[in-house]
Structure 1
Amino acid sequence: MAKIAEPAVVRRASVTDAARVPAPAARSGPAPLAAIPAAQWRALAERAIEPNGYYLPDWELAVDASARDRVAASALGAWSDGARLIGLMPAVSMWRACRIPLPALVSADPYGTLCTPLLDRAMAEDAAAGLLEAARQAGARALILRAVALDGAAMKAFGEASRRDGLRPRLLQSHARACLDATGDADEVLREALGAKKLKELRRQRNRLAEHGAVHFDVARTPRQVAAAVETFLELEASGWKATRGTALGQHAGDAAFIRRATSALAETGQCEIVSLRAGDTRVAAAIVLRHQDRAFYFKLGVDERFAKFSPGVQLTLDLTRHLCADPAIRLADSTAGSDHPMINPIWRGRLGIGDVLIPLRRNDPVAVLIHRAMTLREFARELARWTVRSIRRHEKDTA
């Protein structure tokens, strides 16, 4: 297997000469995420040209500490004048990310499906160039940005930095996922998305749910409220099909520890809410929502499946839509869901282009070409597997 160092943090002597500045000996070895000064990381997040709630320090450090199969990522960083952090991307080796033994670095999975690096808006291209150089210093021949917003400001900065060095980014895969333009009127947004007939049916279901007790939408914001609400969320998520599949956070001690730590820490800075729907004293649905700059991120949803016929997840999402549209601080909500998500797609009709992008780190590098081919074959195999599973499920449904 090809050897590659976990990425070092590259301190830069000047903003304009990033590509030629070597990593100082003091920082040339592996750099754990915890080595990044927390104050610097938080300050960069506030200045980031594009928000990403899943790379906020309190979230990603909690993931890195205990989340299953996601611990011990390294820091790929860029610094201005050796002192100010202007770019940061948690990263892992290609072997760890994809089980492919080639010298590339891949953005680390932060549990949420968004890996957009944090780039200082005042010098985004230089920050992107610094991250590319940090990857070179670690011995990588390519940098793979997973799950990035393809039309976002961060990807544009990487594109410009790559062209400046004569490099050509390559798209590995792309898809569109649901998002909400939260600047509109919620009632109009829902009426246009669902239509009068569907909304009438949902109101009927809500009235039926109210037979079990008055229906209330609650928002936990303070650290104490969030600490209590996250336990309700964990119980609800582990009570349904996610538990059957083994994907509920509460089923794994490390995952549960991560989500408790992350939500409480982010609540301290007003960057996490847990929304829930209750009928009387019974919580029937709960979801975690992260906030970064003017964007909200709909992380995960848990429902009490005893109330499934009343569509508690949909009911909660309708109230969340109204909640976000009423908040002037939020302009966009990212569902962070799959491209074919059956619940959120009909409700949030906006779409974000998300994809994986490979950036070669040297011109005309045959190793980078090999990495690209390996990733292309991997994506083909994954898509074939997904198609096969869908076909089997359709056949089982048709023959049932």
Structure 2
Amino acid sequence: MLQMLDLPQHVGELPRLALILFGSGLAYRQAASLLRFAFERKSDLDTSARPPDGPASWGPTKQGTAVVDPPEIAGPQAPLAEVQTGGVELIDALAEEWRGLCEEEPNDQPFCRPEWVGAYLRAFAPRAKLVLITARVDGRLRAVLPLIEERGFLCGLPVRKLRSAANVHCVRFDMVRGAGAEGEAAVLAVWRRLRDLPGWDLIDLPYAYEGGTLEQLLRAAREDEYLVESVQSWRSVYVPLPGENGAPQNWFPGRKADFRAKLQRRRRKLQALGPLALRSFVRAHPEVLQRFYDLEASGWKGRRGTAIAQDPQRRQFYDEVAAAASRFGYLSLDSLELNSEVVSAHFGLRYRGRYFLPKAAYNEEFRGFGPGLLLVQAILLEHQARQLREFDFTGPWAPDEAQWANETRGCFEGYIFSGRGYGALLHAVRFKLRRAIKALMRLKQSKIPAPPQRISQRDPSSAAADEG
């Protein structure tokens, strides 16, 4: 098959080459493997597709470590980039410095701290190959990006990729960096190390969020003329909260008065059944965690098999995250109790002036009272005592959450494709081909004549009788 193709001629016409192979009658994966082989052979000769600075000279490494100084910003204060490969032990060794970096201004999400990445690796990916990229200035840590190296498929094509060291339970993912120009230079140094790192076709960055550092990384890749895409995953509702002198009703900018009235009615009805109390725990007491897990499993998540308690990996992850959040002072296990019985509960986090809600549960016997809404209201009533400036629901937009505010924050998946021919093919199949197909479908639909309207044979005077 390959002898029948003039590879140099077709490398510039990636969609055409894909159609030739896939249309030749080969099995899909067999054709994909041939494509990969073809482009690997071609990239050996195609020096014009290599990074502008040439491949990094890695030399001997210790524990999979390589250090290179970005040539464009060389100097006594230039960030020094380092790549380490291994397992979760790399996270543990860097954890103290990493946490110190998290306290600087740009990093306002708890999910990017080392305890979250370490918990993810131990629970969900204990055998994964971690690729940890860091940047330092005069020995001080200025940027950290943990990725996982793996092989898989993209649209049926084999792919070697680096991806976020996270999954959906980690909520969000980002690179942690220092403040100011020094931190921005560190991000650029991290990108240059990634750019020169051999052996990847795709950098896949799910769970990134608007305003995060990964947006800067994607811009740097785009400026180097790499193929970069961002696909929105969801938008999360968040509630901006008033300052010390703000009135409680200021949570409801543009909200309808009937929503506030509905909350008050439901609270009165629930209070008619007994005393209602908000309880908050900042320690990861096993019995409090177990009570939350049991409540979650008793509802629809239990019926679908997605509750934390139903999977040992999920349970391990949340137990470890809760213990770490308790240790570092940002855990907030909140519950609304009626006659000492929990009717709704949060696995919450109170971090740097924000309340984050990764997990919530409620007793479905009290569904009609809106226990989840009442718990959110109770926490918002305490926003000044808790020194909160924002309540972040974190998950995909939902109608109940949208009753609280109009503001949303986007999460997205970022893609960086390698500069060689095969990366361009992956991009063409994943994005260009899909866009072309959608455009053709829209064009086809626009050219289909509308069906003739059926003429009713009924007497128009009979319509009033029907309405009556």
| In structure 2, C-alpha distance between the alignment counterparts of 1:147 and 1:223, rounded to whole Å | 26
Give the drift of 1:59.
Answer: 2.4
Q: Secondary structure at the match of 1:102?
A: strand
Q: 1:181 aligns with which of 240, 249, 255?
A: 240
Q: 1:158 aligns with which of 196, 217, 222?
A: 217
The 1:312–1:73 alpha-carbon spacing in structure 2 relative to 1, beyond 3 Å, is farther
Q: Please list, as runs of the form range in 1=range in 2, the aligned pairs for 1:129-208 lying within 5 A after superposition.
A: 129-136=188-195, 137=197, 139-150=199-210, 152-162=211-221, 165-167=224-226, 169-173=228-232, 175-183=234-242, 185=246, 187-192=248-253, 194-208=255-269
1:112 counterpart = 2:173: no
Read off the aligned partner of 1:230 and give its amino acid letter.
Answer: L
Q: 1:356 aligns with which of 401, 413, 420?
A: 413
1:209 counterpart = 2:302: no
Read off the aligned partner of 1:205 and give its amino acid letter.
Answer: R
Q: 1:290 aligns with which of 337, 349, 355?
A: 349
Q: Secondary structure at the match of 1:86?
A: strand
Counterpart position of 2:87: 32
Give the drift of 1:100.
Answer: 5.8
Which region of structure 1 is more displaced relative to structure 2, 298-307 or 98-107? 98-107
Counterpart position of 2:424: 369
Deviations 1:15-57 (A, max 9, x none): 9349997867xx4xx3223313221221222226232222222
Higher relative contact order by CA 8 Å / sep ≥ 6: 1 or 2?
1
Counterpart position of 1:306: 365
Give the drift of 1:250.
Answer: 0.8
The 1:347–1:80 alpha-carbon spacing in structure 2 relative to 1, beyond 3 Å, is same
Counterpart position of 1:77: 133
Counterpart position of 1:393: none
Counterpart position of 2:281: 220
Larger radius of gyration: 2
Give the drift of 1:237.
Answer: 0.6
The 1:372–1:128 alpha-carbon spacing in structure 2 relative to 1, beyond 3 Å, is farther
Q: 1:54 aligns with which of 100, 103, 111?
A: 111
Q: Secondary structure at the match of 1:35?
A: helix
Q: 1:270 aligns with which of 329, 341, 349?
A: 329
| In structure 2, C-alpha distance between the alignment counterparts of 1:14 and 1:134, rounded to whole Å | 8
Give the drift of 1:96.
Answer: 5.5
The 1:173–1:158 alpha-carbon spacing in structure 2 relative to 1, beyond 3 Å, is same
Instruction: Note if contact 2:282-2:333 (Cα within 8 Å) is conserved in structure 1.
Output: yes
Read off the aligned partner of 1:120 and give its amino acid letter.
Answer: G
The 1:11–1:319 alpha-carbon spacing in structure 2 relative to 1, beyond 3 Å, is farther
Q: Secondary structure at the match of 1:103?
A: strand
Give the drift of 1:88.
Answer: 2.3
Give the drift of 1:13.
Answer: 4.5
| In structure 1, C-alpha distance between the alignment counterparts of 2:313 and 2:433, rounded to whole Å | 29
The 1:212–1:193 alpha-carbon spacing in structure 2 relative to 1, beyond 3 Å, is farther
| In structure 2, C-alpha distance between the alignment counterparts of 1:40 and 1:22, rounded to whole Å | 16
Give the drift of 1:325.
Answer: 5.4
Q: Secondary structure at the match of 2:272?
A: helix
Read off the aligned partner of 1:119 and give its amino acid letter.
Answer: R
Counterpart position of 1:388: none
Instruction: Note if contact 1:10-1:77 (Cα within 8 Å) is conserved in structure 2.
Output: no
The 1:273–1:12 alpha-carbon spacing in structure 2 relative to 1, beyond 3 Å, is farther
| In structure 2, C-alpha distance between the alignment counterparts of 1:360 and 1:134, rounded to whole Å | 15
| In structure 2, C-alpha distance between the alignment counterparts of 1:166 and 1:270, rounded to whole Å | 43
Q: Secondary structure at the match of 2:108?
A: coil
Instruction: Note if contact 2:102-2:113 (Cα within 8 Å) is conserved in structure 1.
Output: yes
Read off the aligned partner of 2:104 and give its amino acid letter.
Answer: R
Counterpart position of 1:229: 288
| In structure 1, C-alpha distance between the alignment counterparts of 2:223 and 2:240, rounded to whole Å | 34
Read off the aligned partner of 1:201 and give its amino acid letter.
Answer: K
Give the drift of 1:279.
Answer: 0.7
| In structure 2, C-alpha distance between the alignment counterparts of 1:355 and 1:117, rounded to whole Å | 14
Counterpart position of 2:320: 261
1:343 counterpart = 2:400: yes
Q: Secondary structure at the match of 1:212?
A: coil
Give the drift of 1:173.
Answer: 3.1
Unaligned runs of 5+ in 1: 381-400
Give the drift of 1:132.
Answer: 2.6
| In structure 1, C-alpha distance between the alignment counterparts of 2:418 and 2:184, rounded to whole Å | 15
| In structure 1, C-alpha distance between the alignment counterparts of 2:152 and 2:399, rounded to whole Å | 31
Deviations 1:330-375 (A, max 9, x none): 4333321113x1221221321112212223453xx43333333454
Instruction: Note if contact 2:235-2:410 (Cα within 8 Å) is conserved in structure 1.
Output: yes
The 1:84–1:372 alpha-carbon spacing in structure 2 relative to 1, beyond 3 Å, is farther
Deviations 1:213-258 (A, max 9, x none): 211112111344xx44222211111110001111100111221122
Q: 1:86 aligns with which of 128, 138, 142?
A: 142
RMSD: 3.5
Tell me the TM-score normalised to structure 2 length: 0.68
Instruction: Note if contact 2:203-2:416 (Cα within 8 Å) is conserved in structure 1.
Output: yes
Instruction: Note if contact 1:294-1:331 (Cα within 8 Å) is conserved in structure 2.
Output: yes
Counterpart position of 1:387: none
Counterpart position of 2:14: none
1:245 counterpart = 2:304: yes
Q: Secondary structure at the match of 1:140?
A: coil
The 1:186–1:334 alpha-carbon spacing in structure 2 relative to 1, beyond 3 Å, is farther
| In structure 2, C-alpha distance between the alignment counterparts of 1:9 and 1:336, rounded to whole Å | 35
Aligned residues: 366
Counterpart position of 2:6: none
Aligned-residue sequence identity (percent) comes to 21
Deviations 1:179-223 (A, max 9, x none): 121345473244435422222222121122223321111211134
